[in-house]
């Protein structure tokens, strides 16, 4: 479908499933495009009756890029010498804008990694838009939890690739360092998806600015404690990029949240856990299912 106008920018959106199905919004992580969702994951959600909504976050893929803001400066943001061109709150408003553009009042919302942070912000800022929340391999913004394991954080600061081949190799190296230890890595699939992502919209400066947004957005713990939304937190016990303490802290902060820790799972959704994770999502959202009525006005905050 053509890009949607949302929150003053354009966002590339794709739908899968029955248009009359229960809407489920997927929000992906740092630098990830909508094609980075495993096809088996999307297909399994569709089989369970969801209308699956995927989008490129701002500054990646085919959504609006923020190159006028200049190169990202993560260190400057951390030292207070630079400001972030946008925050996770702005990306949450983008997500609300997607629902507006699709004429949907509410949706079940699933976010992974940075997408989990955006989903949390969406529930904080626009609680009536979120029927249920699923935060996967994410954290609260509290710097004392969810920290990368030694040697892994440097992957986020890798210099941009000079060409397609190097970009693919960088992606494979990142997956090797962060993927599940308890399940096999399908390296051929990683290479194929990395190549498609490069061809579709390789944009390392956008990824850097998204990282700046994460760093500048601060701790959400106090706001999460005020949420009143059915919440499922899923985290891999072997996640080296966002330590499982981030998931535990998220579940502890949100009243009534249910935590599912998966042994052997890292910072990915390997084929071997897709059925389990989808069943968890379907069971969680099932108690709140049913298509949202259309909206005729702007986002109800």
CATH number at residue 124: 3.40.50.1820
Residue 252 lies in a domain: yes
Domain annotation covers residue 67: yes
Question: What value does the mean pLDDT of the chain take?
Answer: 94
| Residue 82 belongs to a domain | yes
- The pLDDT tens digits of the residues spanning 83-106 come to 999 999 999 999 999 999 999 999
Q: How many domains does the chain have?
A: 1
Instruction: Establish if 221 belongs to a structural domain.
Output: yes
Instruction: Point out the catalytic residue in the list 90, 94, 108, 239.
Output: 239
Residue 297 lies inside a defined structural domain of this protein: no
Q: Determine, yes or no, domain membership for 180.
A: yes
Q: What letter does residue 85 receive in the DSSP assignment?
A: S
Told to judge if 267 belongs to the known catalytic residues of this protein, a careful annotator would answer yes
Please say if the pLDDT value at position 137 is more than 90.
yes
Kindly report, residue by residue over 163-207, the tens digit of the pLDDT. 999 999 999 999 999 999 999 999 999 999 999 999 999 999 999
b/e string for 46-80 if b means 16 or more Cβ within 10 A? bebbbbbbbbbbbbbbbbbbbeebeebbbeebeee
Range of the domain at 12: 4-286
The reply to whether 225 falls in a domain is yes
230 domain-assigned: yes
Full-model pTM: 0.94
Q: Is 239 a catalytic residue?
A: yes
**Which one of 90, 100, 108, 113 is the catalytic residue?**
113
Q: Is 205 a catalytic residue?
A: no
Relative to beta strand 107-112, strand 50-55 is: unpaired
Catalytic residue among 28, 203, 267, 284: 267
On whether the CB atoms of residues 137 and 233 are closer than 8 A, the answer is: no
């Amino acid at each position: 479908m053509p890009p949607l106008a949302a929150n003053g920018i354009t966002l590339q959106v794709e739908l899968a499933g029955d248009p009359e199905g229960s809407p489920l919004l997927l929000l992906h992580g740092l630098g990830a495009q909508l094609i980075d969702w495993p096809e088996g994951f999307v297909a399994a959600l569709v089989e369970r009756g969801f209308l699956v909504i995927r989008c490129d976050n701002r500054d990646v893929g085919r959504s609006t890029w923020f190159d006028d803001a200049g190169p990202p400066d993560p260190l400057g943001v951390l030292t207070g010498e630079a400001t972030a061109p946008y925050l996770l709150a702005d990306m949450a408003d983008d997500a609300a804008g997607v629902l507006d553009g699709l004429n949907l009042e509410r949706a079940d919302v699933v976010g992974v990694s940075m997408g989990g942070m955006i989903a949390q912000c969406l529930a904080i800022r626009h609680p009536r838009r979120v029927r249920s929340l699923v935060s996967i391999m994410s954290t609260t913004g509290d710097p004392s939890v969810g920290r990368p394991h030694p040697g892994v954080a440097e992957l986020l600061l890798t210099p941009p690739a000079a060409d397609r081949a190097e970009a693919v190799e960088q992606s494979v190296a990142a997956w090797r360092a962060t993927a599940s230890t308890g399940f096999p890595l399908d390296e051929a699939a990683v290479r194929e998806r990395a190549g498609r992502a490069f061809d579709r919209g390789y944009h390392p400066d956008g990824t850097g600015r998204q990282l700046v947004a994460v760093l500048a957005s601060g701790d959400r713990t106090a706001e999460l404690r005020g949420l009143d939304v059915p919440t499922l937190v899923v985290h891999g016990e072997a996640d080296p990029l966002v330590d499982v303490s981030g998931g535990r802290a998220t579940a502890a902060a949100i009243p009534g949240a249910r935590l599912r820790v998966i042994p052997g799972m890292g910072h990915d959704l390997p084929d071997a856990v897709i059925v389990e994770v989808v069943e968890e999502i379907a069971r969680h959202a099932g108690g709140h299912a049913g298509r949202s009525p259309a909206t005729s006005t702007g986002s109800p905050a």
